[in-house]
């Protein structure tokens, strides 16, 4: 058993309807797909595709939403991270106004919840050195299991490296 969930605030852009075919049937499921990014601890950003089961009109660009989602990080770093929302909560207001930005919570980094198989643990002889553990997880998204490897790296300040 494994699970990989991300919880946090994301700015949603480029909302559009996407039909994803179901395996072994001629049917499709309609999602609203948004583009966003994940701010990493090393000041890089990872592209996100956020899918939400929805028949409604997409939200305006730059709407900030609190998102609870199953996650999949592909092995190929060029591909975007896929989040399948369990429940998005868009923040009210006009995303184009300055007041909207001021009212948005200042939470740059999302919370990551992962259950999986710890396959590698590095513990150096020097206790003040970097320690890490590799965790293999799976998320069932769009009718398939999507594996993700997460390396947790502990420095003087705790950091998480996703790959």
**CATH number of domain containing 7:** 2.40.50
Gap between the Cα atoms of 86 and 52, Å rounded: 8
Distance between start and end Cα atoms, the chain = 20
Range of the domain at 103: 3-115
For the residues 21-34, what does the mean pLDDT come to? 84
Is residue 55 included in any domain, yes or no?
Answer: yes
Is residue 138 included in any domain, yes or no?
Answer: no
Is residue 111 included in any domain, yes or no?
Answer: yes
Does residue 161 surpass a pLDDT of 60? no
Which residues have C-beta within 8 Å of that of residue 103, sequence separation ≥ 6?
91, 93
Is residue 148 included in any domain, yes or no?
Answer: no
Predicted model pTM: 0.80
pLDDT at 62: 93
Is residue 109 included in any domain, yes or no?
Answer: yes
For the residues 35-41, what does the mean pLDDT come to? 77
Number of domains into which the chain is organized: 1
Is residue 122 included in any domain, yes or no?
Answer: no
Is residue 129 included in any domain, yes or no?
Answer: no
Between 38 and 162, residue with greater pLDDT: 38
Q: Quick one: which H or E segment has residue 101? A: helix 98-103
Is residue 163 included in any domain, yes or no?
Answer: no
Res. 94 pLDDT band, cuts 50 70 90: very high
């Amino acid at each position: 058993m494994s699970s990989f969930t991300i919880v946090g605030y994301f700015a949603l852009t480029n909302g559009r309807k996407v039909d994803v075919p179901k395996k072994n049937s001629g049917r499709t499921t309609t999602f609203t797909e948004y583009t966003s990014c994940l701010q990493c601890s090393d000041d890089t950003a990872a592209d996100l595709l956020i899918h939400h089961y929805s028949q409604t009109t997409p939200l305006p660009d730059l709407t900030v939403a609190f998102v609870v989602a199953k996650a999949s990080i592909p092995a190929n770093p060029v591909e975007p991270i896929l989040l399948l929302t369990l429940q998005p909560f868009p923040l009210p207001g006009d995303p184009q106004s300055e007041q909207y930005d001021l009212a948005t919570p200042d939470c740059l980094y999302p919370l990551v919840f992962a259950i999986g198989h710890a396959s590698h643990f590095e513990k150096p002889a020097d206790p003040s050195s970097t320690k890490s553990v590799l965790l293999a997880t799976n998320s069932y998204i769009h009718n398939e299991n999507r594996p993700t490897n997460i390396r947790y790296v502990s420095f003087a300040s705790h950091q998480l490296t996703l790959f």
